[in-house]
Amino acid sequence: MIKASTTLALSLLATPLVVAQRQTLTVAASGGNQSSPLLYGTLYEDIYHSGDGGLYAELIRNRAFQGSSQNGQASTVRTTDFWHPIGNVQLSVEQSSPALSPSLTYDLRIDVPSGTTGPIGFYNDGFWGFDVDATKRYAASFSIKGAYNGGVTVGFNNTLSGTQLSKTTIQVNSSDGVWTSVHPAVFQPFSTPGSPNSTFTYIFDGAQLAGKSIQVNLLSVFKQTYKDRPNGVREDLAASFDGLESTWVRLPGGNNMQGLSIGNEWHWDRTYGDLKNRTGHIGTWGDYQTDGFGVLEMMQWATDSNQTLVLGIFAGLHIGGALVTEDNLGGYVDSTMNYLEFLKGDTSTTWGARRANLGFPIPFKIDHIEIGNEDYLNGGTESYNTYRFKAFYDRIRAEYPDITLISSISPPPISGPNTWADLHFYYNQDTFASLYDRFDNSDRSLPIVVGEYACIFEFSNGYPEIGAQTMGMALAEGIMLLGAERNSDIVKGTAYGALIKQYDEMSSTVSVIKHTANQILQTTSYYLQQTFSRYKGTETVAVTSEFGSGIGPLYWSATRAGSTRYLKLINYYGVDSVVDIVFEGPYSSTVKVITLTAPACNSTNSLPQLGGESTSILHSELDESDGKFTVSFRSPCELKVVIA
């Protein structure tokens, strides 16, 4: 087992470096169990601006005065947050009469003093600024109430240099007491400042409005979107996600799907259609959510990104602790059945026809549903096991017998061949590394997903989360993934705990991707997952060592697709580790080696402007010598994939 002859406890590293004895790994020629095609996926939920201000390509913050964040909690308190006056005008948020719609009932009121002349107006801060790019198209629109007949000049302004970065004049002819929709004006900026320090301004002729007031609402600026989808997602973030090579995504959460309290669980039927009809809701993670990135936009994005969809549905337990009683659960189950028809039904069905009328004629392919999320929290286990799971299970099974149902508690309250269980792993490095053999002796009749994982402490002594995952943390996650891959006859999928978070808001908690208005940080975990996903076979392959199954500093797993074998090797805090590899059966005398490396085990990736990425991916070749291939690790923290 452990063949460590020396253990060096370096004072700078909590995880000790280990000198491994050189060993020979023999990789079998034939395959074993089928590998799950899903394996490497993600959880999407709107957490710390993954949706609003993240994937969702809307650039205006607080565009419809739906709610705000108060002391870190999402709230329905309406504010002028992120809006500022230009000139001597007063901004306030007021209840509209008449309202723009029954859902958007507040507006931004601009009072202009008598005697005003010259330009007046207001500007928005965006989500920590704006990404202004002269090579891209933008579209600005808004609704206005109040008499105004003239030009409204909108555009980006650089706050550092004072330079105008775009300028578009929209002709408006609006009247008192009625709302006028100003349709999207499409423009391209003059220049690309390269920093997000910009605002978006709206300038009116002050003389025309002197002594009067106007109201505005649903002020929107979209940058061109991924695949040009209307109301779609940010191109750069979608491309980064595609680069991850994720195969499946569970959405829309997570704790955010559960909601903090009754009424704030995910209501799919409040998130489609005209943006004027989306009230938004109190999000779990501190922000009021616009619901602009609604059910159809989410499904479209995930489908465009070729993801297998795993629909997360509310099962009666709020993350704040409130529980839906058995008597009251029926309405939620009915709603779920309508939801499934809305997503999966053809146009002959009531809800399928409604979806088609909204511009989505093709049903979404949803073959996996998770009933609830972490239903063991807040005393939820008993109700889940006695009535909550069953209520959803019975109705879904009756109508969609082939859908895989995933229980958020293991084992599932009702077992069956296409009923899986979801495990969540949020542990420190040492614990992650110990999960290498976690699935080796698991019940083969119970398929599982590790539906959320993230290494959240750098050190085992409880040192808190750090700004970005280290290479050591990513490799610890990788050791767990090796165990999942070796056992993927039952481990059907794994998913990182948070896909995307906004860096300015949450630089210090883990996620695969972090973003600012105009930059992206792909973490060490991103590259580890990408490498695992890119180089995987369809069957597991046995690997033997003269020392046994391998417990540090070297960990491995092998798969094959046809005649190509992929041997993954993780060197985890190992000093000068060397391993000899023997491939049984036919093989080429030269193999390819992919190396994911970083200068040190505690290296992290940073935003481009803060130093960029420490990780690199190297491609090399290795020749056979004496019937074996000798792999040497240059860094104590490294992943190698040998492709034979």
User: Whose Cβ is closer to ligand AHR: residue 251's or residue 579's?
Assistant: 251
User: Whose Cβ is closer to ligand AHR: residue 131's or residue 374's?
Assistant: 374
188 to 8, 49, 140, 536: CA distances (angstroms)? 58, 25, 11, 42
Cis peptide bond prior to 320, omega within 30° of 0: no
Under a CB-based contact definition with an 8 Å cutoff, are residues 554 and 574 in contact? Answer: yes
User: Whose Cβ is closer to ligand AHR: residue 72's or residue 102's?
Assistant: 72
Tokens standing for residue 561: 């697709």
Shortest separation between residue 498's beta carbon and ligand AHR, angstroms: 4
Shortest separation between residue 41's beta carbon and ligand AHR, angstroms: 14
User: Whose Cβ is closer to ligand AHR: residue 45's or residue 107's?
Assistant: 45
DSSP 8-state assignment for residue 189: -
Distance between CA 228 and CA 358 in Å, rounded? 17
User: What three-state secondary structure class fits 266?
Assistant: coil
Shortest separation between residue 284's beta carbon and ligand AHR, angstroms: 7
Shortest separation between residue 614's beta carbon and ligand AHR, angstroms: 24
Tokens standing for residue 156: 């980006």
Under a CB-based contact definition with an 8 Å cutoff, are residues 67 and 47 in contact? Answer: no
- Angle CA(108)–CA(110)–CA(113) in degrees, nearest 5? 165
Quick check: 498 binds ligand AHR (CB under 6 A)?
Answer: yes
Quick check: 312 binds ligand AHR (CB under 6 A)?
Answer: no
Shortest separation between residue 596's beta carbon and ligand AHR, angstroms: 24
Quick check: 422 binds ligand AHR (CB under 6 A)?
Answer: no
Under a CB-based contact definition with an 8 Å cutoff, are residues 438 and 602 in contact? Answer: no
Number of residues that bind ligand AHR (CB under 6 A): 10
User: Whose Cβ is closer to ligand AHR: residue 255's or residue 525's?
Assistant: 255
Distance between CA 467 and CA 471 in Å, rounded? 13
Shortest separation between residue 378's beta carbon and ligand AHR, angstroms: 12
Half-sphere exposure of residue 476: CA atoms within 13 angstroms, side-chain side: 27
Under a CB-based contact definition with an 8 Å cutoff, are residues 257 and 268 in contact? Answer: no
User: Whose Cβ is closer to ligand AHR: residue 201's or residue 271's?
Assistant: 271
User: What three-state secondary structure class fits 70?
Assistant: strand
Instruction: Name the residue with the smallest CB distance to ligand AHR.
Output: 254
Quick check: 452 binds ligand AHR (CB under 6 A)?
Answer: yes
SS3 percent helix, strand, coil of the chain, rounded to 5, is: 20, 35, 45
Look up tokens 């690199």; give the residue. Answer: 616
Tokens standing for residue 547: 């020392």
Shortest separation between residue 554's beta carbon and ligand AHR, angstroms: 30
User: Whose Cβ is closer to ligand AHR: residue 259's or residue 553's?
Assistant: 259
User: Whose Cβ is closer to ligand AHR: residue 496's or residue 572's?
Assistant: 496
Distance between CA 209 and CA 110 in Å, rounded? 10
User: Whose Cβ is closer to ligand AHR: residue 354's or residue 424's?
Assistant: 424
Shortest separation between residue 244's beta carbon and ligand AHR, angstroms: 16
Quick check: 494 binds ligand AHR (CB under 6 A)?
Answer: no
User: Whose Cβ is closer to ligand AHR: residue 287's or residue 452's?
Assistant: 452
| Neighbour tally for 566: CB within 10 Å | 23
Tokens standing for residue 383: 């109700």
Cis peptide bond prior to 252, omega within 30° of 0: yes
Quick check: 638 binds ligand AHR (CB under 6 A)?
Answer: no
User: Whose Cβ is closer to ligand AHR: residue 307's or residue 373's?
Assistant: 373
Quick check: 497 binds ligand AHR (CB under 6 A)?
Answer: yes
User: Whose Cβ is closer to ligand AHR: residue 307's or residue 571's?
Assistant: 307
- Angle CA(491)–CA(492)–CA(496) in degrees, nearest 5? 90
Please give the residues from 21 up to 60 whose contact with ligand AHR meets the rule CB under 6 A: 45, 47
Lay out the site mask for ligand AHR across 351-380 (x = CB under 6 A, - = otherwise). Answer: ----------------------xx------
Shortest separation between residue 47's beta carbon and ligand AHR, angstroms: 6
Shortest separation between residue 431's beta carbon and ligand AHR, angstroms: 16
Shortest separation between residue 277's beta carbon and ligand AHR, angstroms: 27
Under a CB-based contact definition with an 8 Å cutoff, are residues 579 and 554 in contact? Answer: yes
Q: Is 379 exposed, middle or buried (0-12, 13-18, 19+ CB in 10 A)?
A: exposed
Distance between CA 309 and CA 367 in Å, rounded? 7
| Cα-to-chain-centroid distance, residue 275 | 22
Please give the residues from 245 up to 264 whose contact with ligand AHR meets the rule CB under 6 A: 253-255
Under a CB-based contact definition with an 8 Å cutoff, are residues 378 and 319 in contact? Answer: yes
Under a CB-based contact definition with an 8 Å cutoff, are residues 392 and 315 in contact? Answer: yes
Shortest separation between residue 264's beta carbon and ligand AHR, angstroms: 14
User: Whose Cβ is closer to ligand AHR: residue 512's or residue 554's?
Assistant: 512
Shortest separation between residue 421's beta carbon and ligand AHR, angstroms: 14
Strand-strand pairing, 513-515 and 520-522 = antiparallel
Which residues sit at the interface with ligand AHR, rule CB under 6 A? Answer: 45, 47, 253-255, 373-374, 452, 497-498
